Structure 1
Amino acid sequence: MVGFEQPHPFKEAHHHLSVMTKLYRSAAALVLSLPLLGLGQQQAAAPDPWAFTHSNQEKAIVLSHTGGFNIGSKIVADPRRPGQTITCDHGYFEYFIPLHSPPQGHLRRTTSLVLWHSSSTQTFQNRWDGGPGFKDLLLRLGYPVYLFEAPRLGRANWACKPHRYDVTYRDQDNFLAWNFGPSYLNWWPGLQWPEDPEVRRLSWEQATGGRYVEFDDYEHILLHAEVAAKGAVHTEQGAERGGVVYLTNSAAGLRALLAATLSDETVGKIRGIVAYESAGYVFPEGHNVTDRRDEPFGPLVVTQEAWRRLAKLDFVQFVWGDNHPETGSGFWDEMVVQSRLCAELINLYGGNAEVVKLKEDLGVVGNTHCPFTDMNNEVILGLLEERLERSGLDGFEGRVGKGKGKGKSKWRG
């Protein structure tokens, strides 16, 4: 009689632990070898992109306080039961505020950073391979960090309207949409992801599992933008604060652009937007762009008055990873083209916008749809630091930033 070994819980746990250990060892090994990655494909004429790299992970994160708040909620009456209401459709902000104590060498920046993904805050909390994410890297630099969860998503899912969840089998489509490779599990060569097959598999499971339901329709785009704008005003009520910069990914880019156009109240509060591979754009009326609010990713057309609010931001930066040739075919190629037109029109109205393609402009290779989750995310962080410095938004409390507003980028020449 053939016997079948029953799975032993301790054996299963030991296997999982060994795999996770391998995952984190891979992340640690990357930090030690980071300057050696990707240089073979760097353009000869470009500055050394690794000049941005600064591994400071031995520096402790010292916080003054943390917390969270709801904002933008509505109170809706129950039509069936008089006197009964629900408070709903709020957004949720979780915040991490660094300590400011100059004698001890702890300095806090005046600019706050709002980390905003259209479907999950997890993208900013860790790299997918388990390494440090943007949240911790930015806190080490002294920036107050806010994780934003938009209405009806994640920890803000108490909705004013009923909605139905239908299972959508999207793992294969997401692999392509997030720019991991040309077909499912056919990874791009030179990708900033672990080479070990088991670590790569686990990283992929983290990526595809780290998301919420996403509502891509105009009702939710507007709702998310309205609440994000209120959050930006609320977080900047202190006299010493220097405004917020939205760091967005994918469809959150469209919502952030719209948020900056909605009200004069946000002018001077929303200071900038960095949109990593934005899905969707806003344009001003009168420039031959057709408003498509019936589509999940626009484009959206706003009035000239609203557009001028966007042009008053200190800067807007659209960042793109590899494999977007702009040949005119495919959704993401079209999004790059739209980002260039959006930047051009912002600048036409006196604003300060630019499009950065990591490979073509910087020689930084191997990045995916979420470059801040890739293994070279410290390089991506360096680009952000340079942009904040150039805009004068890198100052510490009691000290102004180094930038001069609309100065040229050191990598543009």
Structure 2
Amino acid sequence: MKLVKGLKSKISVLMLSFSLIVSATTIKPITIQEQGSFTVGGSYVTHDGVYSPKNFTSPEGQRAYGGFAYVSYQKPVNAKRYPLVFQHGGAQSKRTWESGPDGREGYNTIFLRKGYSVYLLDQPRSGESNLSTQAIIPETPWVSNSMYSDKTFYLLSRVGHYDAKGNPVPNAQFPAGQENYDNFQKSWSVGSGPLDNNLNADVLAQLVDKLDGAILVTHSMGGTIGWRTVLRTDKVKAIVAYEPGGTEFVFPETDMPKIIKAKFEPLSATAMAVPLEEFKKLTKIPIVLYYGDYIKVGSDNPGEDKWGTEFEMAKQFVATINKYGGDATLVHLPEIGIKGNSHFLIQEKNNQQLADLMEQWLKEKGLDK
């Protein structure tokens, strides 16, 4: 009897080892043809006076640079025609797309495996683009280390809730454990100057023009940067927006949306007006918006309530684009059977499934060649 149990145990270990080996070998190496980094956009200001080596630490006659984006990229062998450009959200950086809190593969390499060139940028005054020609102002968000805000960010991002003892309880798709919680909290980035989404869109448009066409993939506040970029260049071929919100959606000035207010009103979704002919530029490309779970207007959870108002605004945004002949789609993941995702859905346990969903959409739009 003991022999049988021991044999079964050894067989189980061998099967597990074999399974791990097979799993490791099924992940094929990525063959990179080219990779690198560069900056795009930016400007400088010069301090008055004349520079003197005798007083070499003085700002007189010297320049301060800023307002640019830092971009890192990789191109696989036999890359598809249009690259993916990844735009992060507020208080984040290109790290958003590089990995999940538990170290799982991020969208950058997932889509390299799918044959797309990937460009990850840190928008001006953020991440590795943190030089600024303008000083911070009281209204600048995220200007210093976000001390004592872990619970705020956790709730507003709908990652989970806290038990009676204050311990984090993650939602279904967010990886559990204190280490993953800590890694999530370490992903936030500070701003080194005023938040300027028109500047961010100007720089993103320069990047898209430099690439002679690209597909934008945005997250959260990056959504408004994506919409505004389309108003600045005709080289955007499509937009995939993951939970856009936190700053304005774009609407025709003659067809503005109904504002749904959150319980804490400053968290409510907002809209900006543009001339109708400008707005119609958004009708020339396919657009898809993905939203996760735990979204409910009027919820006592501030994150669920906030993103409930953003979701309602997104419905109106998509309807307005289609009203003027566009091709916009809104996907609420729970409605298609994908449940448990937070605002950071692209980093969660099912991010491969979500990436496959995006890939299928790109194929449907003829953008997989």
Match of 2:326?
351
2:196 corresponds to 1:227: no
Q: Equivalent residue for 1:275?
A: 241
More strand per residue: 1 or 2? 2
Looking at structure 2, the residues matched to 157 and 216 of structure 1 have their Cα atoms a distance apart, in angstroms, of: 8
User: 2: CA distance between counterparts of 1:79 and 1:254?
Assistant: 36
- What is the aligned counterpart of 1:387 among 361, 364, 368? 361
Counterpart residue type for residue 99 of structure 1: V
Q: Equivalent residues in 2 for 1:255-334 (5 A)?
A: 255-261=225-231, 263=232, 266-267=233-234, 269-279=235-245, 280=247, 281-289=249-257, 298-313=270-285, 315-326=286-297, 330-334=305-309
Aligned residues between the structures:
318
- Aligned residue in 1 for 2:220: 250
Match of 2:114 among 129, 135, 141: 141
In 1, are the aligned partners of 2:215 and 2:239 still within 8 Å (CA)?
yes
Distance in structure 1 (CA, Å) of the matches to 2:354 and 2:152: 25
Shift in alpha-carbon separation, 1:167–1:69, aligned structure 2, 3 A: closer
Question: Which structure has the higher relative contact order (CA within 8 Å, separation 6+)?
Answer: 1
> Would the aligned equivalents of 2:175 and 2:348 in 1 still touch at CA under 8 Å?
no
CA distance in 1, matches of 2:313, 2:258: 12
Residues 290 and 301, structure 1, Cα contact 8 Å, conserved in 2: no
Cα 1:166–1:381 change in 2 (3 A) is closer
Distance 2:72 2:39 in 1: 9
Residue type at the aligned position of 1:389: K
Letter in 2 for 1:171: D
Q: Distance in 2 between matches of 1:371 and 1:245?
A: 19
Task: State whether structure 2 residue 84 is matched by structure 1 residue 113.
Answer: yes
- Following superposition of structure 1 onto structure 2, how do residues 51-200 of structure 1 map, counting pairs within 5 Å? 58-79=27-48, 83-100=61-78, 108-118=79-89, 119-163=92-136, 165-168=143-146, 169-183=148-162, 185-187=167-169, 191-195=172-176, 200=177
Distance 1:271 1:289 in 2: 26
In the alignment, the residues of structure 2 paired with residue 381 and residue 76 of structure 1 have an alpha-carbon distance, to the nearest angstrom, of 42
1:341-373 deviations in whole A, cap 9, x for unaligned? 11111111211111111111x101111111110
Cα distance, 1:323 vs structure 2: 0.8
Separation in 2 of the partners of 1:343 and 1:57?
39
Counterpart among 151, 173, 178 of residue 201 in structure 1: 178
Is the Cα–Cα contact under 8 Å of residues 64 and 133 in structure 2 kept in the other structure? yes
- Distance (Å, rounded) in 2 between the aligned partners of 1:181 and 1:328: 14
For 1:122 and 1:350, how far apart are their aligned partners in 2?
Answer: 36
| Distance (Å, rounded) in 2 between the aligned partners of 1:135 and 1:204 | 22
Q: Distance in 1 between matches of 2:109 and 2:368?
A: 17
Root-mean-square deviation (CA, aligned residues, Å) is 2.7
2:343 aligns with 369
2:132–2:192 Cα contact (<8 Å) kept: no
Code of the residue aligned with 2:153 in structure 1: it is: N
Q: Is the 8 A contact 2:256 2:273 kept in 1?
A: no
Give percent identity, aligned residues only.
27
**Letter of the structure 1 residue corresponding to residue 160 of structure 2:** G
Corresponding residue number in structure 1 for 2:12 = none
Distance 1:131 1:328, change over 3 A: closer
Query: Is the 1:328–1:334 contact (alpha carbons within 8 Å) kept by the matching residues of 2?
Result: no
Task: Tell me: CA distance 1:224–1:56, structure 2 relative to 1, closer, same or farther (3 Å).
Answer: farther
Aligned partner letter, 2:361 = R
User: What SS does the corresponding residue of 2:196 show, helix, strand or coil?
Assistant: helix
Distance 1:152 1:253, change over 3 A: same
Shift of residue 149, structure 1, vs aligned partner: 0.8
Aligned partners of 2:325, 2:144: CA distance in 1, in Å? 45
> Would the aligned equivalents of 2:101 and 2:175 in 1 still touch at CA under 8 Å?
no
- Distance (Å, rounded) in 2 between the aligned partners of 1:205 and 1:223: 32
Contact 2:136/2:192 (8 A) holds in 1? no
Q: 1:97 Cα shift?
A: 0.7
Distance in 2, matches of 1:57 and 1:110, equals 26
Which segment is superposed worse, 222-231 or 173-182?
173-182
Change (3 A) 1:185 1:271: farther
1:290·1:299 contact (CA, 8 Å) conserved in 2? no
Query: For residue 150 of structure 1, what is the amino acid of its counterpart?
Result: Q
Contact kept? 1:129, 1:193, Cα under 8 Å = no
